Amino acid sequence: MDMKALMEQAKGLQAKVSAAQDSLSRTVVKGIAAGGMAIVEMTGKYELVKLTLSPDIEQEDLESMTAIISAAFNDAKAKADATIDKVMSEATAGMPLPQ
């Protein structure tokens, strides 16, 4: 493969990765904990969109509230990670990218 063809291929890959990153910034995943007592919505870029807390959470119990919110965040992050892996794999045709 000549250098010009290689550069064209790199530009095409760059465009696909850029489009995938743009798509991830618009993708929203939802993490749910404690049967819906806490719901975290975040983008595929880990930006918090919305935090919803059930009125059933004991507001005096800050430790439990913190644990439930953390669990919802971690659930959303795991879903975002899976979405990122899928979108980027599709954009790069399975070619692994450095982390």
Domain span at 59: 3-91
CATH code (residue 35): 3.30.1310.10
99 in a domain, yes or no?
no
Task: Classify residue 34 by its DSSP letter.
Answer: G
- Does residue 35 register a pLDDT over 80? yes
80 in a domain, yes or no?
yes
Confidence of residue 62 (pLDDT cuts 50, 70, 90): confident
Domain count for the chain, please give it: 1
Q: pTM of the prediction?
A: 0.71
Averaged pLDDT, 16-23: 87
- Does residue 18 register a pLDDT over 70? yes
82 in a domain, yes or no?
yes
d(CA 72, CA 83): 17
- Burial of 40: CB neighbours in 10 Å, binned 0-12, 13-18, 19+: buried
49 in a domain, yes or no?
yes
Tokens 């439990």 sit on residue: 64
97 in a domain, yes or no?
no
Averaged pLDDT, 26-50: 93
10 in a domain, yes or no?
yes
Please state, rounded to an integer, the average pLDDT across all residues of the chain.
86
98 in a domain, yes or no?
no
